[in-house]
Amino acid sequence: MELNPNASCYTCQHTGEIIIFGDSYAKPIFYSPDGRNFFQLVQTGFGGTSLDFSIHYDNPHNGDHGQMFCKDNAVTWNGKVFAKTACPSSITFEPIPVVREPAFLFLTSDGTFIYVSRDKYNYRYETCKFFIGPAQEMKRVDITDWVTYRDGGTTYITTTAGVLFSPTPFDTKAVSTWQGAKVAKLDTKDFNIEEFDDVARIGKQHLGFVPPAILDLFR
């Protein structure tokens, strides 16, 4: 990969580790533990200016996460100092892996589940997938339109099977709907969801789990 002319390189003289920031605001971030093999990291937060800043990051390759500080042409990270050095014109690297995560899970009054997933690290609406059906065979349907308002999360997802509405959590009176009918929003952390290319399934140990408060929504 050819690097941006604004990329900057920092090397730890004691370990040979290298950090490369792809532009003035540290996007993307590349890390090499040996000066040869690079891995792309995920920037999760940035504070400061282009010359003096701190960044939060995730390393999806090994589960590591933390913070780096850049000041006076040096990076401090994990108790080590990386001095600014000449930047290569190009590198080869291991890209951010594709990791899926739940975005929404709903339950209709007739027991149908609606599940929406997304890419955890390369999030774009285009990476989202929509599944609908019984718990053990939610089938994927195509998303044709996705609109999210800047009010904290009001979302309309249009699919070839229908339209899902999820209100902003700041509107405590609004309810989620599927094709105009009320649906219950579930906490994805309460369920073991397996996702494949065209099918998603909820783990058997959770098939009978529906909180009483959810059932009350349909009464």
Q: Are 132 and 161 in contact (CB under 8 A)?
A: yes
CA–CA dist 104, 84 (Å, integer): 43
Tokens of residue 178, six digits: 């599927």
Q: What is the mean pLDDT of residues 144-155?
A: 92
Q: Is the pLDDT of residue 205 over 80?
A: no
Q: What is the mean pLDDT of residues 179-190?
A: 91
CA–CA dist 33, 121 (Å, integer): 21
CA–CA dist 191, 102 (Å, integer): 10
Please, is 161 exposed, middle or buried when counting C-beta atoms within 10 Å of its C-beta (0-12, 13-18, 19+)? middle
- What pTM does this model have? 0.74
CA–CA dist 116, 124 (Å, integer): 13
In terms of pLDDT, which residue wins out, 71 or 204? 71
Q: Is the pLDDT of residue 31 over 50?
A: yes
Antiparallel, parallel or unpaired: β 93-94 and 38-48: parallel
Residue whose token pair is 């999030």: 123
Provide, rounded to the nearest whole percent, the portion of the chain with pLDDT above 90: 68
Provide, rounded to the nearest whole percent, the portion of the chain with pLDDT above 70: 93
Among 173, 190, 212, 213, residue whose Cα is nearest residue 115 = 190
Q: Are 119 and 100 in contact (CB under 8 A)?
A: yes
pLDDT tens for 45-93 read 999 988 899 999 999 999 899 999 999 899 999 999 999 999 999 999 9
In terms of pLDDT, which residue wins out, 217 or 146? 146
